[in-house]
Each structure stands twice: as structure tokens, then as C-alpha cells.
Amino acid sequence: MISEKDLAELENIPFEQRIERVEKLLEGKSEPRAFELGLLLALKMGQEIREGKELGSTSGELVASWSGKHPDSVVEEAIAFAKEFLMNPAKLAEKIKSGVLSSDNERRSRVEPGMTEGTEPGMTEGTEAGMTEGGEPHDAGDEAQNG
């Protein structure tokens, strides 16, 4: 996860190295947060602006590469974060400090241990609704334990 400390360190690094650093932080992450992808997108867009390139000439390829890798909702959020980074970075920095961006952590804390997002309560990933991990109906397992 990219922390507030990482963001502060990025401010002291030359612009071109910032992109490399964020890419390394995201490298190998199977499920990066929308905020993290948005930061990378904003840096890529900033680079396009600095170099006088048409906006989206390289950043568009980046977003296209996310399709299929990440849920559409994450990509859409990342684009919104990138826009906010470019249009109102001070407001976004304040949100980071106040913890508004902790919605991902809140969502994860609501998920039961052994579950991943999208599974039903009481179920672990790979089980089907109404079945235990052993393949028995939930009710059958309860009866065996209670009876």
C-alpha cells in the first residue's frame, strides 16, 4: 500500500523518478487500490503535460492495460483519483490525512476471515452458496454438530 510517508518522499524525488518509484511499489500487486492506480495515472498524465504531448497519448494505454486485470469500478475510481490529483491535489492530500481514503480498509474489515470480497457471509472463496467447504449443505453440517 502506498502510504502518506511514501507520498511525502515522492515530493523530494525528481518527477521522472517518481513514476518509476510508484511503478515499483505497484509491481507484483495483484489487487492494487484505486488510489494507488490513480496516483500512477496522474503522474503519467503530468509527464505528458510536461513533455507537451497530447493528454492520453501514453496514459490512455496505461488505463487500457488495466481493463481485464482490475474490476471496472477500480479503474473508474482510479481515473477519478487521477483527476483529483491533477485538479485539486491539496484537497486530496487533506483527505489522505483525515483518513477518508480508508474505505478499502473498512470494506476489508467487514469481510469475515477466510473470505474474499464477493463471497457470501459464512462462505470461503471457492465454495458454492448453501454448501460448506466440504461440499455438504450448511444445514447438514449444523445438524451433525448439534445432533
127-136 pLDDT per residue, tens? 344 444 444 4
pLDDT at 5: 78
pLDDT at 17: 87
Residue pair 41/60 in contact (Cβ under 8 Å)? The answer is: no
Host domain of residue 75? 4-98
Domain-embedded: residue 108: no
pTM equals 0.60
Domain-embedded: residue 23: yes
Domain count for the chain, please give it: 1
Distance CA 110, CA 133 (A): 21
Domain-embedded: residue 138: no
CA distances from 92 to 69, 77, 123 (A): 26, 13, 36
Domain-embedded: residue 125: no
Domain-embedded: residue 57: yes
Domain-embedded: residue 127: no
Check whether 28 has a pLDDT greater than 90: no
Q: Is 137 helix (H, G, I), strand (E, B) or coil?
A: strand
pLDDT at 104: 54
Domain-embedded: residue 82: yes
- 124: confidence class by pLDDT, cuts 50, 70, 90: very low
Find the range with the poorest average confidence among 19-28, 47-56, 80-89, 123-132: 123-132
